[in-house]
Amino acid sequence: MNNKGWKSIEAVKHFMKIANVLIPGRAEILSTIGKLAESLKEENLFVLDLGCGYGDLTAEILKYKSDAKVVMLDFSEEMIKICRMRFNGNENIEIYEADLNKSLPGKIKNYKFNIAASSFSLHHIEYENRVDLYKSIYEHLVNEGIFANGDMFIGESSKINDWEFDKWIEWMRIQIKEKLGKETTFEQVKERQLESFKRLGDKPGSIWDMRNDIIASGFKNVDCLCKFQNQALIVASK
């Protein structure tokens, strides 16, 4: 994970400004995870928010299950500060700084969650650390618990991946014009996005890579609930 990227308040503020504008289907993916959490029908729903960012996923889950208990984890001190202010006064929420490349923190070693969820965060995890992280998530879930990950993915075929990436760039160019009122060229947007990948340590894999890693970590079933361009929601059950 790039230590400099998400430690920067400028990067955090920029992401907060553009997240829903430039990530296809982000709002729908967050809403689907919230509805999935509600469907578990647990009286004392216990949620693990992995790479919580500034708290949009937790906020979405609380729309559907306002009394849910949530543990929020993130690598960025700036994101943690924002979450502590955002959820100040909610005694059902615990927030910890944690590097998921080193698995889950010892502070929650005895916790068992009904659902572990992440939104647009786990593509920062180093490839070689992913199976171990998924195993730790598996171990922290109750029987029949759910792991849901809304994230960025690449195509398995380089040809299809390049085509889909270019379609995303063009979609972003239009979004920037319509939502932010700025004129940009395809080349400008593409250059900025490639630079962002390097700066923030983005390492997306394919949907099939994640499925294989999740199965290797012990989960029984893996499904893709939805896909919007290069963003998708993968759900596994214990």
Q: Is the pLDDT of residue 98 over 60?
A: yes
Q: Is the pLDDT of residue 76 over 60?
A: yes
Domains of the chain, with CATH numbers?
A: 9-155+198-237 (3.40.50.150)
Please, which pLDDT band fits residue 11 given cuts at 50, 70 and 90? low
List, as one string, the DSSP characters of 8-48: -HHHHHHHHHHHHHHSTTHHHHHHHHHHHHHHT--TT-EEE
CA distance 204 to 178: 27
User: Residue 7's pLDDT is what?
Assistant: 60
* pTM for this predicted structure: 0.91
CA distance 6 to 138: 26
What residue type is assigned to position 66 of the chain?
A: S
Q: Terminus-to-terminus CA distance in the chain, angstroms? A: 27
Q: Is the pLDDT of residue 3 over 80?
A: no
Token reading at 60:
């979405």
CB neighbours of 14 closer than 8 A, spacing ≥ 6? none
CA distance 55 to 103: 20
Token reading at 142:
């109750």
Distance set, CA 218 to CA 133, 147, 205 (Å): 12, 12, 19
